[in-house]
Chains A and B, each alone.
Chain A
Amino acid sequence: DVKVTQSSRYLVKRTGEKVFLECVQDMDHENMFWYRQDPGLGLRLIYFSYDVKMKEKGDIPEGYSVSREKKERFSLILESASTNQTSMYLCASRQTGLHQPQHFGDGTRLSIL
């Protein structure tokens, strides 16, 4: 079974802090993704990566950056956290290839105070 592990289930940070969310997958998947999920807005794509060292902006990249130095790890960085970044953050991975599904971690619930 595919395992996507997010480093924390719950995280509390302060406004202005630099925040790192980590995601690791164990299936040698090339593609990795970061979403956020908010009530009434559903899941929205922040950034994704086709492979190591590659990154692409999703629908809402503002205020975020990412890092993919190793194939199994995809980090989401909040450069200067703000209260409107309080959300559930979900990481996913998928194997390259047409019609391969995405596999998700259990999410990190981040609160910015």
Chain B
Amino acid sequence: DAKTTQPPSMDCAEGRAANLPCNHSTISGNEYVYWYRQIHSQGPQYIIHGLKNNETNEMASLIITEDRKSSTLILPHATLRDTAVYYCIVTRGGGADGLTFGKGTHLIIQP
């Protein structure tokens, strides 16, 4: 699985869009980008995944650059409940053999 790099922490004002970057410059052609988040005292929660096209669901949007070396998770209207650690994971099979979580980005939504 390709290595990912994320900023350790970010702040965002409530109601604004939160844009979380992830660098994965060694990604290979058949690897997908997954995003999970972990709210304090809870288990990780799956958010979204994609290969090369932009993806959107009810929680977030995922923008992957054309060269696939980086991506951005967008929470369009952040709320206080979005305060969490966000993990970007690159893997081939969705985690059939387990997932490797890095340190992630601690996103703090400010009132």
Contacts and interface: CB of A to CB of B under 8 A. Distances in A.
Interface in A22-46: 31, 33, 35, 42-43, 45
A90 B44 contact: yes
Contact of A101 (B34, B41, B98, B103): B34
Contacts of B42: 106-107
Contact of B93 (A35, A98, A106): A98
28 contacts: A31-B96, A33-B95, A33-B98, A35-B98, A43-B44, A43-B99, A45-B98, A45-B100, A48-B97, A48-B98, A50-B96, A59-B98, A90-B43, A98-B93, A99-B32, A99-B49, A99-B93, A101-B46, A101-B49, A102-B44, A102-B94, A102-B95, A102-B99, A103-B46, A104-B44, A104-B45, A107-B41, A107-B42
Interface residues of A, number: 27
B102 interface: yes
Interface in A71-112: 90, 92, 94, 96-107
A48 to B, nearest CB: 6
Given A99-B32, A107-B43, 18 more contacts: A4-B43, A31-B96, A42-B101, A42-B102, A42-B103, A45-B98, A45-B100, A58-B98, A90-B43, A94-B94, A99-B49, A101-B46, A101-B95, A102-B95, A102-B99, A104-B43, A106-B43, A107-B42
Contacts of B49: 99, 101
Interface of A: 4, 31, 33, 35, 42-43, 45, 48, 50, 56, 58-59, 90, 92, 94, 96-107
